[in-house]
Amino acid sequence: MNHDRINSRGAQISRRDVVRFGAAGAAGFWLVEGLSLPAMAAAQTGKGKAKAVIQIWLWGGPCHLDTFDPKPDAGNDYSGPLTKPIETNVKGIRICELLPALAKQADKYSLLRGMTHGVNAHETASYLVQTGHKSGDNLVYPSVGAVVSLFKGYDAGYKGLVPPYIVLTEPQGRFSEAGFLGAKCKPFATGGDPGQARFAVEGVVAEGVSDERQRARREYLQKLNTLEHAMQGDTRLVASAQCEQQAYDMILGDGSKIFDPSQEKDALRERYGRNTFGQACLVARRLVERGVPYVTINFKGWDTHKQHFQTMRQKLPQLDNGLATLLQDLSERGLLDTTIVWCGGEFGRTPKVQWEPPWSGGRGHWGQAFSTLIAGGGFKGGRVVGASDKRGEEVKDRPVHPCDLIGCVYELLGIDPAGKLPHPQGRVVGVMPSATDGVTLGGRLKEIM
């Protein structure tokens, strides 16, 4: 995968450059041409309760029947061996039996069981769910994270050492997250594995190089920097030195600790789960606690065409521990009221199990009906919005389309869904599509806002 980034002048910049420029607070680097600061301010309502989003992307598409919309009475061809959904701490809401920790946190989240878009291809479904727009109209729209990065990033007062849009740990590669907003609104993908003894964040933590060796390298570099000593007071060199200082603050100072789950107590790390996903949830909490406005956790492995139920018995306990602990941890720290937690994938999976070879117990892609969990930041908990039919094949009540959910996320963040986005060719482009754009709308989620 090519991890290079392209700036507005066509020059390539590495992830290390992204961290360096971000650490320096280089507003000119992140500024999106074509949208003035007053225009950006006008697109923000100032009425939002939320300050951050943690998006848990179940990469590949989780099955709604085996997570948040169980159908035990549909028979073995639909429910498979998962026939005993469990009651939650909210009367009347039941979820998969493999999610006992989440069952105890149902008062903190709502389930959207009427999600639908009818698209069954990974790329186009991912694009639709992450942008709210259908593909094929000659525009590549930005993802929610990129839009939040634009309106809540450096030019909106964000002063963090790390960029305002973080992906743990690798980008999907399904589409350009920044779209026409360009490289300045791309996420910083950490790489590495937070479940390892040392989380080797690319450009921040170098595997095999200790902090002591990094300090020694810096000291040697300073000894070689005779130009700066000879031209003391030169404004360009002063700016360069400041940039270097802040970059080293990121690598060796408090900045690097933001990504380090080992700063937390062992008992809490155990609760999250000593695996990549669980520790990514812990790092995400540390990031939003320090003001990062958008964090995506790309949790791979949900494209279960084969060995579906075997995979569920491995994936669901990890999701259960990590997500349930995240919700509880955010709540205990007073952060859930201002942090939206959004968990779902690009679509659901075929309600009828594909027992026949070569699938032998797998589930295919299904965009007709699927489920999403949403919590915090102004969304009410303990609710269910919409319903699928008795086999989970179609939405029978209160359809929710991706743009409905995304528009509500923007609204709670104080971003005007009717506002405008900059476009490099000067086209008038809305933050969200409207009915006149040919997009199907189910309406604002008034039930949970």
**Count of domains observed in the chain:** 1
Phi–psi pair at 164, nearest 5 degrees: -75, -5
Report the mean per-residue pLDDT for the chain. 85
pLDDT, tens digit (0-9, with 9 covering 90-100), for 198-232? 888 886 655 665 566 655 654 545 555 565 556 66
Residue 211: inside a domain? no
For the domain that residue 39 is a member of, what is the CATH number? 3.40.720.10
Q: Which amino acid is at 216?
A: A
Residue 229: inside a domain? no
Residue 276: inside a domain? yes
pLDDT band at 24 (very low <50, low <70, confident <90, very high): very low
Which stretch of 10-14, 15-19, 351-355 has the lowest confidence by average pLDDT? 10-14
Residue 373: inside a domain? yes
Give the strand pairing for 339-344 and 370-375.
Answer: antiparallel
Residue 93 domain boundaries:
5-205+259-448
- Give the separation between CA 88 and CA 104, rounded to whole angstroms: 6
Residue 30: inside a domain? yes
Q: Give the residue with greater pLDDT, 399 vs 14.
A: 399
| Cβ atoms 376, 402 nearer than 8 A | no
| Cβ atoms 115, 372 nearer than 8 A | yes
Element at 175 (helix H, strand E): none
Phi–psi pair at 377, nearest 5 degrees: 65, 15
pTM over 0.75: yes
pLDDT band at 95 (very low <50, low <70, confident <90, very high): very high
Residue from 449, 446, 438 nearest 133 by CA: 438
pLDDT, tens digit (0-9, with 9 covering 90-100), for 58-73? 999 999 999 999 999 9
Residue 240: inside a domain? no
pLDDT of residue 173: 80
Task: Select the highest-mean-pLDDT range: 171-180, 191-200, 229-238, 373-382.
Answer: 373-382
pLDDT of residue 48: 79
Residue 217: inside a domain? no
Residue 14: inside a domain? yes
pLDDT of residue 250: 52
Q: Give the residue with greater pLDDT, 78 vs 216.
A: 78
Taking CB atoms within 8 Å and a gap of at least 24, the contacts of 26-29 are 26/154, 26/243, 27/154, 27/155, 29/184
pLDDT, tens digit (0-9, with 9 covering 90-100), for 36-58? 555 555 566 667 799 999 999 99
Q: Over 70: is that where the pLDDT of 195 sits?
A: yes
